[in-house]
Amino acid sequence: MIYLDYAASTPVSDEALHVFQQLSKECYGNASSLHDAGGRANDILTYSRQSLATILEGEPGGIYFTSGGTESNILAIQSIMNGLPPHKRHVITTSVEHPSVHHAVNAMQRLGVKVTIIEPNQEGIITAEILKQALLPETGLVSIQHANSETGIIQPLAELAALLKERQVLFHTDAVQTFGKIRVSVKELGVDAISISSHKVYAPKGTGAVYLDTHVPWKPLYEGAVQENGLRPGTVNVPSIGAFVAASEQLMLQIEEQQQLDGQLRDYFLQQLKKRQLPVRTLQGSGERRILPHIIGCFFEGFEGQYVMLACNRNGVCISTGSACASGYHHPSPAVKALHVSDRDALQFIRISFGRGSSKDDIDQLLHTFESLQKEEKGA
């Protein structure tokens, strides 16, 4: 099997698996327990917070471990809104966010919070001017993703953060797709809260984290929760957290090298499309648009994305038609539609994403499938 869907999920690395197995055997105590076994587990948590905070350039006290990116988004948004004063009951987000962000703001809206959904420009970018027009005196929180999981388009968060700081508005970002792929720094981005997830960085599924800067006021979504300083209930999964942090540390050591490899594979893919004269149009970085190096969004002329995905699957190649968390819904993706393409074109969208171990041979096999589809269309 050839796997080109790393933006959806990654295999568990040897480093992460080793740490998970060792901690499962040796640090099985409950981190909340007062005996030595609990103390050892708590030591792992303390180290993990410090390590993750160092990677994010934040404070260890701002790291809270969760069950993944979806819960991180929901807890960040709803806990922050719960902690804001009554005159700050307005939240802004975008039409191209992960569904979990929309679930979170919709829940707050039912409780009386005013919600504004803004649209990116035709390049897929939320500009400072677009955001500025949506700000109100009562705006308390803005949530804008660092990069889109389907198109790979990166948002200019630092520029937006400067505007929000002037207005004393808190800023959350979903960095699930960028963490471990490009630099994600609290200081450089200027954000107050960040969501990340383990299964995008070669660690076991079911773990994530949210960073809430220590100046951020928040109140728990769950009454009576005692774990993670009251942010969420449930026994803390120490082995999985340790594996998550180990995988993250390993990725940071190789991040520049992997970016270079991803760029080479992207260039090769584009060159081969042109050489083989395939009717595939790709999203490219240009002007204000920056795209993650490991994601290529494509429009395959003449075929719906789901058909292409299934054809690739029959040939042992895994790609995606968009966000896996929204699979099962056969309609144009909001992130793709935001690029001002027609419904017909949006339904032709496919996503290819690279990771550790991806090679030119993998791309050749993918392109072979594309060529077969092209011949099929010509012969019809």
CA dist 285 and 299 (Å) reads 15
Set 27, 298, 312, 325: catalytic member? 325
Is 318 known to be catalytic? Answer: no
Residues 6+ apart with CB under 8 A from 323: 8, 98, 99, 149, 150, 333, 335
CA dist 132 and 120 (Å) reads 13
Task: Quote the distance between the C-alpha of residue 283 and its chain's center.
Answer: 18
Task: Quote the distance between the C-alpha of residue 79 and its chain's center.
Answer: 20
Could you tell me where the beta strands, DSSP code E, fall in 160-278?
A: 170-174, 193-197, 208-212
Q: Rounded to whole angstroms, what are the CA distances from 221 to 94, 112, 138?
A: 23, 16, 21
β-bridge mates for residue 91, sequence order? 115, 141
CB of 25 closer than 8 Å to CB of 14: no
β-bridge mates for residue 208, sequence order? 66, 197
Residues 6+ apart with CB under 8 A from 322: 150, 305, 333, 335, 336, 349, 351
Active site residues: 325
